[in-house]
Amino acid sequence: MRRIGSILALAALAVLGAAPAAGAAEGDPTGRPWEVAATVYVPGQEAFEATGALGFLNTGDGSIQQMPFDYLPYGIAYAPDARTLYTVGFSVGRGGPGVFAAHDASTGELLWATIPGEAGEAASWYMSVALTPDGALAMTTGRGEARIDLATQAVERFSACAESIASGVAITPDGRTAWFVCAAPGTPSGAELRAFDVATLELVGSMQIPSADVAAIAITPDGATAVLAGSARWPSQQVVRVELATGELTALDQHTDGTISISPDGTRAYVGTASELPAAEPNPSVIALPDAVAPHAEPGAGALHAIDVAAMTIPVSSAFANYDANPVVTPDGARIHAVTYEQVEGTPISGISTRDAGSLAGLAETPLDGIGVHVAVTPDQAPVARLTASEPHSPVTFDASASSVEFGTIAEYAWDFGDGTTTVTSTPVVQHEYASAGQYTATVRLTSSGGTSTEDVFTGQQLLRNGDPSAIATVVVTVPRTLPATGFDGAWIAAVAAALLFIGAIALVATQRRRARR
């Protein structure tokens, strides 16, 4: 009987120890900052002695590292998982063949490269690149287009533009269609937009862009609209919006040179220019080149422009020292990174400028050793959700503090408790009280500070946000019928413990009395 009493007393203490501690520790998973990669041209002492480099800007502490290479990288794009960086360019020297290269995104180390052309072959160099959203294929432009299988490194050459030159390429968010800008600068016919099936390389559509020397292209995340602008090689006097389903064109008179990028929500496009013209009202029916065409400005004079894609107006511009700005937007849509260039006492000075995406105000200037060409920002990655729940009582404590994120932080926890109740928090631990007993499947969906959850955001050349189902976690909880479904505040535990202690005490007293009688 003494043994029974001791066991009951220990059981009472165990029940008391099982009560959850108030204010469970909350995690704050934090990942690393995004990086901005830049292709860099490093001039040599003599003609055709230039070398290339990749620059990596840490957006957290502002530090930058450069790695030299024996080819001249030009266009640049990150793989969806941000592990690999792809560049296109050409070999050093006169008539050098085109190069498509893969680099380790964390170290810059060259992983592999293809040289599909021969030295001296005119149609062998590449200028721009677009990856499919799944990261399986790359499409290039320049003199002679190519599709590269990124798993096998196989290259298939083809001609996207017949007699003209493919100056830009963008892939639709579903990964099925590649739109090439076939530039014909200075001709009355303007440019042509041609669509190719990515899988078969068959021509599936085309449309004329009359009297517009556009050369660069980006596509809104919904895949409905393309925005075209000038490029470094062929400056344009206009920005043109194209509805891809109907072919409807809307033009904005604005001199541009360099690439174009679109915000993650698709509402703004960003372009650079080296000489400004006043913005004109959109003209949805006719695209007419202005009578007075501004000449391409000297290096050092320029601006960045934010374009309202729906209205085709310019709500904000900012002075910007550049020749070809080539702006890119960060995955959260908050900042712009663009290439700067100016001559200071005959010496070229170049770097990466960081701007606020709303006002285009300058935030930081980071110099490069050489002349910056293009930039790309690491795609934000979906958080990896982990979820546990206290059982079997109500309220239930749900804990997602074991979740992780690669870039930035976890900004939002969206909860669905399985009983029709939902809530959103900025912290990983939450309690929920179920009104009745039963089995419930609770879910948490995480969103990173870069805006990434389960859905991709893609704007033509690479992913901005690599969404993944890993951002969701579920757990099944059971609220038993034999225990109260409410009031899980420790009161019932104290009552049970007190009863067990009382029974244990009685058992001990009874044992002592029996011994006394003996």
The pLDDT tens digits for 492-510 are 445 545 555 656 656 555 5
Q: In this prediction, what percent of the chain has a pLDDT beyond 70? A: 75
Q: Which residues pair with 414 in a beta bridge?
A: 424, 445
Q: For position 305, what pLDDT does the model report? A: 93
Identify the residue with better confidence: 43 or 276. Answer: 43
Q: 346 pLDDT band (50/70/90 cuts)?
A: confident
Q: In this prediction, what percent of the chain has a pLDDT beyond 90? A: 54
Which stretch of 47-56, 253-262, 292-301, 432-441 has the lowest confidence by average pLDDT? 292-301
d(CA 307, CA 408): 28
For residue 303, pLDDT beyond 70: yes
Question: At 492, phi and psi to the nearest 5?
Answer: -70, -35
d(CA 77, CA 328): 11
Q: For position 225, what pLDDT does the model report? A: 98
pLDDT, mean of residues 200-216: 88
Q: 263 pLDDT band (50/70/90 cuts)?
A: very high
Identify the residue with better confidence: 379 or 276. Answer: 379
Q: For position 122, what pLDDT does the model report? A: 44
pLDDT, mean of residues 37-55: 82
Q: For position 376, what pLDDT does the model report? A: 97
For residue 209, pLDDT beyond 80: yes
d(CA 36, CA 34): 7
Q: For position 73, what pLDDT does the model report? A: 87
Identify the residue with better confidence: 452 or 347. Answer: 452
Q: 189 pLDDT band (50/70/90 cuts)?
A: low
Which residue in the block uniquely carries the two structure tokens 């109740």? 421
For residue 12, pLDDT beyond 50: no
For residue 148, pLDDT beyond 70: yes
Q: For position 116, what pLDDT does the model report? A: 56
Q: For position 19, what pLDDT does the model report? A: 30
Q: Is 101 exposed, middle or buried (0-12, 13-18, 19+ CB in 10 A)?
A: buried
Q: 170 pLDDT band (50/70/90 cuts)?
A: very high
8 A C-beta contact, residue 105 and residue 83: yes
Q: 300 pLDDT band (50/70/90 cuts)?
A: very low
The architecture that CATH gives domain 388-479 is: Sandwich (2.60)
Domain regions of the chain by residue span: 34-280+297-378, 388-479
Q: Cα dihedral angle (184, 189, 191, 192), rounded to 10 degrees? A: -120
pLDDT, mean of residues 455-470: 97
pLDDT, mean of residues 175-193: 81
Q: 69 pLDDT band (50/70/90 cuts)?
A: confident
d(CA 336, CA 342): 19
Q: Cα dihedral angle (329, 77, 61, 54), rounded to 10 degrees? A: -130
20 secondary structure, DSSP code: P
Question: Average pLDDT of the chain?
Answer: 81
What 347-354 contacts at long range (C-beta under 8 Å, 24+ apart), as own/partner pairs, is 348/43, 348/299, 350/40, 352/36, 352/38, 352/55, 352/57, 352/64, 353/320, 354/59
Q: For position 515, what pLDDT does the model report? A: 57
8 A C-beta contact, residue 240 and residue 209: yes
Q: What phi-psi label fits residue 153: left (phi over 0), alpha (psi between -120 and 50 degrees) or beta?
A: left
Question: Which of 2.40.50.100, 2.40.30.70, 3.40.50.360, 2.130.10.10 would CATH assign to domain 34-280+297-378?
Answer: 2.130.10.10
Q: 169 pLDDT band (50/70/90 cuts)?
A: very high
Identify the residue with better confidence: 454 or 116. Answer: 454
Q: For position 191, what pLDDT does the model report? A: 85
Nearest to 132 by CA among 175, 170, 169: 175
Q: What phi-psi label fits residue 306: left (phi over 0), alpha (psi between -120 and 50 degrees) or beta?
A: beta
d(CA 129, CA 100): 9
For residue 40, pLDDT beyond 80: yes
Identify the residue with better confidence: 3 or 38. Answer: 38
Which stretch of 90-94, 183-187, 338-342 has the lowest confidence by average pLDDT? 183-187
Q: For position 210, what pLDDT does the model report? A: 80
pLDDT, mean of residues 385-399: 89
Nearest to 209 by CA among 241, 179, 161, 165: 241
Q: For position 426, what pLDDT does the model report? A: 96
Task: Report pTM.
Answer: 0.81
Question: Cα dist. 373→55, 67, 120, 209, 254 in Å?
Answer: 11, 15, 23, 27, 22
Q: 91 pLDDT band (50/70/90 cuts)?
A: confident
Q: For position 360, what pLDDT does the model report? A: 95
Identify the residue with better confidence: 1 or 349. Answer: 349
d(CA 473, CA 337): 34
Rounded to a whole number of angstroms, the CA Rg of the chain reads: 31
For residue 485, pLDDT beyond 90: no
For residue 455, pLDDT beyond 90: yes
